[in-house]
A and B are shown apart, each in its own frame.
Chain A
Amino acid sequence: MFELLGIPPQVLLGQILLGLINGSFYAVLSLGLAVIFGLLNIINFAHGALYMAGAFVAWMLLHYLGIGYWPALILAPLIVGAFGILMERTMLSRLYHLDHLYGLLLTFGLALIIQGLFRNYYGISGLAYQIPDLLSGGQNLGFMYLPNYRAWVVIASVLVCFSTWFMIEKTRLGAYLRAATENPTLVGAFGINVPLMIMLTYGFGVALAGFAGVLAAPIYSVNPTMGEQLIIVVFAVVVIGGMGSIMGAIVTGYMLGIIEGLTRVFYPEGSAVVIFVIMAIVLMIKPEGLFGRPV
């Protein structure tokens, strides 16, 4: 067995895997933020709260209706997405003519409301969600033990990120979307229903957060505060990557997850702040972000 700087490979690979899982959530969440930002020009502060809502919806489906993990993986994002569309239609759409910071303030308020409501009814102790039977257990890879469910989280997130990227960059619908990002007025003049597209885009971005929530439910306990810490880290990820490119958001998410995991091996005290330190360095060297376009 090889050793690296006195660190056993089990520890190293274990932390890289853990980092990759965190990175999966960073990637899916920052992807959702980037998709929403591209078209609506707002930062969705409620993203963390909706991620938490996704996990709760999965839990409620199981406990109140007996609907298991696999249907929930589709249903919960749809429900969260529908809720997002409701938010967009009734509130966000009234703010498009104003400074974009009002969108940030509004979604911050919504995040407080959503979190407060869940905290009121479910407390902060957290609820358990069983790993589905199909994915319980794990594989012994010889050098480390790989739990099936964790492998699934990474695979599922990569699949979702890739399909989203493919849809936006390679399909006709995505072409409309990119065109509307550049110039909504002109795209509207070509007869495309831009407000509808904005509504669906917000719904989709938010559904991605809900999807991440369902993925997270069996790993982390389902907890009203699970989104609030995560979203701030995801903001830092977004600042580091720059929101100009879909691929940038995805790659930065995974990369930072792994860096965080490695930091936990070599300098555990720094793991909570390493992403913020990287953000500071990026701001000094390339303020527009690694994949961002210069302003």
Chain B
Amino acid sequence: MAMADKTTSTQRVEQTAGMPTLHKAIFVVLLIGLIALPFFAYPVFAMKVMCFALFAAAFNLLLGFGGLLSFGHAAYFGSASYVAAHAAKVWGLTPELSILCGTAAAGVLGFAIGSLAIRRQGIYFAMVTLAFAQMVYFVALQAEFTGGEDGIQGVPRGNLFGLFSLADNMALYFFVLAVTFGGILFLYRIVHSPFGEVLKAIRENEPRAISLGYDVNRYKLIVFTLSATMAGLAGATKSQVFQLASLTDVHWSMSGEVVLMTLLGGMGTVFGPLIGAGIIVTMQNYLATFGAWVTIIQGVIFVLGVLMFREGIVGVISRWLKKPL
């Protein structure tokens, strides 16, 4: 499936040995900026942006590099959020263990749904993932431990490794920064590994990859599981930040939002999803009082993005600079 337009072909000329200097520079600037950020901006908002940036980056691994459009990524984000919240609140686990539990749950769920979904291609794949995510939503609505409409509220922030209290926003901020930044670097590493190269080959020409002897379905399942796991990491971390797991996290509109972030920032780019997440979360924050207008504006961005801006913001910049970003 060729989701990436031919105009982005420059992106495919990539260095395989080590991280290009440009990327290294951007990551370093980004890290310095993020370390400085909480001293100027509201840390909780910044943490929200970082969690969604990781979520979008995880989604982009699947869509931008694997060429698979999942319309149900809220299922992994949300279920990890629920499990992590439950682990912290009911089992009394420390934050890092709670997040691990949530992430592992998302990985298992991703493996189960992925192994069924990869039996269909293209739009069927999108519909299957959406339908399974809706099933997860209904389970979250009805199950005992999820608290139904109320969700799991008042999740304690706990002590990291049982030692350092994360009750303070600043302490939590640097923990979240480490988790999400680490997650994004991990995703970067996957994309630029031999495994990532095979993924791109499958995205560009699946029959050819099969004829070259690659077990395409195995690759698809692995990338699906990885993407779901990392989406879970984002969701689990989010539940610790907001001390809340709710139905919003598993709702289909959340799946739509992550597609929108990736599309707006530029699918198949390294930095696009991060920018897209930043823009969408900021927009939601400022337009929160306008109710349904947020939905309408998101719809308009979708329509305009698909009709005339398919490369996304970073995709366009990347074309100007003639360098993959």
Tell whether, in the assembled complex, residue A273 and residue B138 are in contact, meaning their CB atoms are under 8 Å apart: yes
Contact A116 B299, CB 8 Å, known A108-B256, A232-B252: yes
Query: A253-295, CB under 8 A of B: which get 1 and which 0?
Result: 0000000000000000100110011011001100100000001
Q: State which size class the interface on B falls in.
A: 35 or more
Query: A91 — which chain B residues lie within 8 A by C-beta?
Result: 303, 307
**Interface SS of chain B:** helix
From B69, B138, B292, give the contact of A101 (CB < 8 A): B69
Instruction: Name which residue of chain A comes closest to B69, CB basis.
Output: A101
Q: How far is the CB of B157 from chain A (nearest CB, A)?
A: 33
Tell whether, in the assembled complex, residue B307 and residue A101 are in contact, meaning their CB atoms are under 8 Å apart: no
B9 at interface, CB cutoff 8 A: no
Contact A116 B293, CB 8 Å, known A102-B310, A109-B303: yes
Tell me the residues in window 35-73 of chain B with beta carbons closer than 8 Å to chain A beta carbons.
69, 71
Query: A160-198, CB under 8 A of B: which get 1 and which 0?
Result: 000000000000000000000000000000000000000
Interface size on A, residues (CB 8 A): 44
Query: A30-42, CB under 8 A of B: which get 1 and which 0?
Result: 0000000000001
Binds A, one of B91-99, B125-133, B183-191, B239-247: B125-133
Cα A272 to Cα B138 in complex, Å, equals 7
A43 at interface, CB cutoff 8 A: yes
B298 at interface, CB cutoff 8 A: yes
Q: How far is the CB of B248 from chain A (nearest CB, A)?
A: 14
Binds B, one of A139-147, A200-208, A213-221, A235-243: A235-243
Tell whether, in the assembled complex, residue B296 and residue A283 are in contact, meaning their CB atoms are under 8 Å apart: no
Q: How far is the CB of A141 from chain B (nearest CB, A)?
A: 33
A105 at interface, CB cutoff 8 A: yes
A223 at interface, CB cutoff 8 A: no
Cα A43 to Cα B126 in complex, Å, equals 10
Query: A99 — which chain B residues lie within 8 A by C-beta?
Result: 1-3
Contact A116 B292, CB 8 Å, known A101-B123, A106-B302, A295-B121: yes
Query: A100-112, CB under 8 A of B: which get 1 and which 0?
Result: 1110111011111
Closest 6 CB pairs of A and B: A109-B302, A112-B299, A113-B299, A116-B296, A116-B295, A276-B135
**Interface on A for B, CB 8 Å cutoff?**
42-43, 91, 94-95, 98-102, 104-106, 108-117, 119-120, 228-229, 232-233, 235-236, 238-239, 269, 272-273, 276-277, 279-280, 283-284, 287, 295
